[in-house]
Structure 1
Amino acid sequence: MGLTADPAFTTTSFVVIDFEATTPKGHPAQPIEVAALALRHRHGDWEETGRSTSLICPPAFAPVTPLTTAQSGLTAEQFKHAPTPAVALGALDARFATGRRYLLVAQHAATEAGLIHRQREHCPNLARLNFIDTIPLAKHLIPGLPDYRLDTLLTHFAIPMPPDRHRALADVEVTAQVFFRLIAAADHDPQLSDLAALEKVAGRTAKSNLPAQGGLFDLETPSNPSYQPEP
Structure 2
Amino acid sequence: MGSLTEDPAFRATTFVVIDFETTTPTGFPAQPIEVAALALRCEDGAWKETGRSASLIRPPAFAPVTPADTAQTGLTAEQLQQAPTPAQALGALDRRLAVGTPYLLVAQHAATEAGIIHHQAEHCPTLARTDLLDTIPLAKHLIPGLANYKLDTLLAHFGIPQPADRHRAPADVDVTAKVFLHLISAAENDPQLLDLAALVKTAGRTAKANRPIQADLFDA
Shorter-chain TM-score tier: over 0.9
Report Cα offsets for 1:107-150 as digits up to 9, x if no partner.
Answer: 00000000000000000000000001000000000000000000
Q: Which residue of 1 is the match for residue 154 of structure 2? A: 153
Structure 2 distance, partners of 1:75, 1:98, is 36
Q: Which residue of 1 is the match for residue 211 of structure 2? A: 210
Secondary structure, counterpart of 2:214 in structure 1: helix
Q: Which residue of 2 is the match for residue 114 of structure 1? A: 115
- Equivalent pairs: percent with the same residue? 73
Structure 2 distance, partners of 1:158, 1:135, is 17
Q: Which residue of 2 is the match for residue 95 of structure 1? A: 96
Amino acid at match of 1:12: T
Structure 1 distance, partners of 2:75, 2:164, is 14
Which aligned segments of 4 or more residues in structure 1 are displaced greater than 2 angstroms? none
1:59-208 matches, within 5 Å, as 59-208=60-209
Structure 2, unmatched stretches of 5+, are none
Aligned residues: CA RMSD = 1.1
Structure 1 distance, partners of 2:177, 2:98, is 22
Structure 1, unmatched stretches of 5+, are 216-231
Report Cα offsets for 1:173-205 as digits up to 9, x if no partner.
Answer: 000000000000001100000000000000000
Structure 2 distance, partners of 1:62, 1:79, is 12
Structure 2 distance, partners of 1:36, 1:197, is 24
Secondary structure, counterpart of 2:133 in structure 1: strand
- How many residue pairs match? The answer is 215
- 1:27 is displaced (CA, Å) by 1.1
Amino acid at match of 2:214: Q
- 1:213 is displaced (CA, Å) by 1.2
Structure 2 distance, partners of 1:34, 1:77, is 18
CA distance 1:151–1:214, shift in 2 (3 Å): farther
Structure 1 distance, partners of 2:123, 2:100, is 20
